[in-house]
A and B are shown apart, each in its own frame.
Chain A
Amino acid sequence: MKTLIVGLTLLVTGWLAQPAMAQSLINGAGATFPYPIYSKWFDEYAKVDPEARFNYQSIGSGGGIKQITARTVDFGATDGPMTDEQLKQAPSPLIHIPTVLGAVVATYNLPGNPALKFTPDVLADIFLGKITKWNDPRIVGANPGIALPDQPIVLVHRSDGSGTTYIWVDYLSKVSPEWQQKVGRGTSVNWPVGLGGKGNEGVSGQVKNTPGALGYVELAYAVKNKLPVASIKNAAGKFIEPTIQTTTAAAAGAAKNMPADFRVSLTNAPGDDAYPVASFTWLLVYRDQPNEAKGRTIVKFLWWMSHEGQRYADDLLYAPLPTQVVKQIEGTIKEITYQGKPVMAAR
């Protein structure tokens, strides 16, 4: 009797362990910033190409960079472009492909969810730990008429290696020389104050659960969780709310002078309507693909993503790529090779 049970269990397990369906599984990892739209895309693309299965784990941009460099995944995703040193560590050239534009917002948890305004220096000083209370005169000064409580600001930042962090500190470095000197930029920095949350999910979760909290997250996360977002004063001196339009406005200038490798920073962009903390987010793939079938699927997906995929951006509060950028991406996709031959044949 016992042997029968044991035998059956082994059989069932063995059967379960068989691959569910003969499909090519493409593994990717990286940024949590675009995770909502990536997961939508992968879901939709499975309908376009039922043979393709994209498994994406949002472990943070740092993780994306690390895992694609180690080749343990087929593609990476990051919102902080790889530095030259990081690119050198990769065994073969990696290319950045922009996918969408997003905004990193300051979100908070205060009674009544007032609409707050922040100036760059106030934000920097809050994150430097110099402003510690909500009713600090400098915050009150920028927000006349709003009753701010006499409560400590519970700052929440990322505990993992994050492109969202990169975008945020890139902005802070541009607007605050003290930040630039003391902390600097990176996907993981030495935060002067604050709690750490894992992923955009973790930070928005913390902010949502902690009265008096202030954190930075991608716009979609704040809105989906009904958290308020602050307006920030941009380079032109106007207080701008993060929306799809203002994000797109931030990219307007950069689109014209896009470098060939797409690594560009959009923070503190010029322009009246530009939201100051916007950024592209990129997929990282090897220019020379190691596997032909996977390479073909990836290339086809990239093409779909930069054309048909863009119409899903709006709903999820990301801004679609400017048309010039899409044209440039087409050229780059055609450069992806397998063993020297372009994967994308005649298109």
Chain B
Amino acid sequence: MKASARRCVNVAMSAATALAAGLVVLPLLLVFGFLMYQGVMALNVGFFTQLPKPVGEVGGGMANAIVGTLILVSLAACLGLPLGILGGLYLAESRDRRLPWIARFLADVLNGVPSIVIGIFAYGVAVLPFRRFSALAGGFALAIIMLPIVIRTSEELVRLVPSSMREAALALGIPEWKVLLRIVLPTARAGIITGVMVAVARVAGETAPLLFTAFGNRFWHQGLDQPIAALPLQIFAYAISPYDDWHRQAWAGALVLIGMVFVVSLAARVVTSGRFTGVR
């Protein structure tokens, strides 16, 4: 091919791929823009402080749903983090022969399981035997979703701690368990926190597993063993309803949800930047 033709192709392909990249990012602007446009009007103090009103009546808010999501995510973190970090530590440090391979494989399997299937499992295990829908069941389902993300991030981050640090500590006579807990983990902490935030952002928006676990609640939560409202659930219920006021509130709720997710994602990014140069 002539040089000029090749240059043309080069430019054309650069343009085409740039276009593709633009199109990938476009929905973000479309969705976010639409949310802002529709949702901002419904965002008032009442939205953040009031409970939902009876069907068909205008007004009310999603205060309980916002708090509910915060509680559910915290529960998921409490249940999922310890297991996740320990699991990641195991995968990074263990010298066993088969268990790490099996565990890693299953963690990957779990990562790909659709959240609705996890919801079915959580219903069978955390709702039916206790005869109630509860925040704990919802948190349990969300924790399972978080688990593989936390495990994988923790493992990666622990592996990245330079062996020189470990060897220095061991040379000083510190027992292995102290090395892991007091030196390796704290060093990896920032990265692990990032992984946790990514997991939190993912889980905050999950609706499907909450359908048959947290159940939803029109009122303020009454305790962790009772049903609880959640932002995605409320958005879903309002979105498929025929009431215009509920639609508006759905937009506002979506705006709040997406805001929460974005803030956490952004924070995760900020924490990592500059911390581990050459990590990626």
Give Cα A225–Cα B242 distance, bound, in whole angstroms.
7
215-267 of chain B: CB within 8 A of chain A? 215-224, 226-227, 237, 240-243
Closest partner residue, chain A, to B224 (CB atom): A17
B71's contact among A17, A29, A40, by CB below 8 Å, is which? Answer: A17
Residues from chain B with a CB closer than 8 A to the CB of A208 are 242
Give Cα A17–Cα B139 distance, bound, in whole angstroms.
12
Q: Indicate whether B127 reaches chain A with its CB closer than 8 angstroms.
A: yes
A72's contact among B127, B221, B222, B242, by CB below 8 Å, is which? Answer: B127
Contact B54 A36 (CB under 8 A): yes
Contact A56 B218 (CB under 8 A): yes
Contact A20 B220 (CB under 8 A): yes
A27's contact among B56, B67, B226, B242, by CB below 8 Å, is which? Answer: B226
186-220 of chain B: CB within 8 A of chain A? 215-220
Interface locus among A143-151, A174-182, A199-207: A199-207
Contact A199 B222 (CB under 8 A): no
Q: Indicate whether A224 reaches chain B with its CB closer than 8 angstroms.
A: yes
Contact A16 B67 (CB under 8 A): yes
Give Cα A21–Cα B64 distance, bound, in whole angstroms.
13
Q: Indicate whether A108 reaches chain B with its CB closer than 8 angstroms.
A: no
Closest partner residue, chain B, to A200 (CB atom): B242
Closest partner residue, chain A, to B133 (CB atom): A72
Q: Indicate whether A197 reaches chain B with its CB closer than 8 angstroms.
A: yes
Q: Indicate whether A71 reaches chain B with its CB closer than 8 angstroms.
A: yes
Give Cα A72–Cα B124 distance, bound, in whole angstroms.
12
Q: Indicate whether A43 reaches chain B with its CB closer than 8 angstroms.
A: yes
Give Cα A202–Cα B53 distance, bound, in whole angstroms.
19
Contact B132 A27 (CB under 8 A): yes
The answer to whether residues A19 and B71 also contact, given A72-B127, A205-B241 and a CB cut-off of 8 A, is no
Closest partner residue, chain B, to A39 (CB atom): B54
The answer to whether residues A205 and B218 also contact, given A13-B70, A17-B224, A70-B128 and a CB cut-off of 8 A, is no
Give Cα A43–Cα B127 distance, bound, in whole angstroms.
27
275-315 of chain A: CB within 8 A of chain B? none
The interface centre, meaning the residue of A16, A29, A36 with most chain B CB atoms within 10 A of its CB, is A16
Give Cα A208–Cα B234 distance, bound, in whole angstroms.
21
Give Cα A55–Cα B221 distance, bound, in whole angstroms.
10
Q: Indicate whether B55 reaches chain A with its CB closer than 8 angstroms.
A: yes
Number of residue pairs spanning A and B whose beta carbons lie under 8 angstroms apart: 90
Residues from chain B with a CB closer than 8 A to the CB of A73 are 132-133
Q: Indicate whether A135 reaches chain B with its CB closer than 8 angstroms.
A: no
Give Cα A220–Cα B241 distance, bound, in whole angstroms.
13
The interface centre, meaning the residue of B56, B127, B135 with most chain A CB atoms within 10 A of its CB, is B56
CB distance from B198 to the nearest CB of A (A): 17
Closest partner residue, chain A, to B226 (CB atom): A25
Contact A20 B221 (CB under 8 A): yes
Contact A17 B240 (CB under 8 A): no
The interface centre, meaning the residue of B55, B71, B218, B240 with most chain A CB atoms within 10 A of its CB, is B55
Residues from chain A with a CB closer than 8 A to the CB of B221 are 17, 19-20
Residues from chain B with a CB closer than 8 A to the CB of A202 are 240-241
Contact A57 B215 (CB under 8 A): yes
Residues from chain B with a CB closer than 8 A to the CB of A221 are 242
Contact B54 A199 (CB under 8 A): no
Q: Indicate whether B182 reaches chain A with its CB closer than 8 angstroms.
A: no
Contact A224 B56 (CB under 8 A): yes
CB distance from A29 to the nearest CB of B (A): 8
Closest partner residue, chain A, to B236 (CB atom): A198
Give Cα A72–Cα B215 distance, bound, in whole angstroms.
10
- Residue interface mask A21-63, B partner, CB < 8 A = 1: 1010101010000011001101100000000010111000000
55-84 of chain B: CB within 8 A of chain A? 55-56, 67, 70-71, 74
B243's contact among A23, A71, A224, by CB below 8 Å, is which? Answer: A224
- Residue interface mask A184-217, B partner, CB < 8 A = 1: 0000000000000111011011001000000000
Give Cα A107–Cα B166 distance, bound, in whole angstroms.
72
Residues from chain B with a CB closer than 8 A to the CB of A36 are 54-56
Give Cα A153–Cα B135 distance, bound, in whole angstroms.
43
CB distance from A164 to the nearest CB of B (A): 14
Counting from the closest, the 9 A-B pairs by CB-CB distance are: A20-B220, A201-B241, A204-B242, A39-B54, A25-B222, A205-B242, A19-B223, A36-B55, A13-B74
Using A43-B53, A53-B219, A221-B242 as known contacts, list a sample of 14 further A-B pairs with CB atoms less than 8 Å apart, ordered by residue number in A. A13-B74, A16-B67, A17-B71, A17-B221, A20-B222, A25-B227, A36-B55, A70-B128, A70-B131, A72-B128, A72-B132, A73-B132, A220-B56, A224-B243
What are 20 A-to-B residue pairs whose CB atoms are below 8 Å? Answer: A16-B70, A20-B221, A25-B217, A27-B132, A27-B226, A27-B227, A35-B55, A39-B54, A39-B218, A55-B216, A57-B215, A70-B131, A72-B127, A72-B131, A73-B133, A198-B240, A201-B243, A202-B241, A208-B242, A225-B242
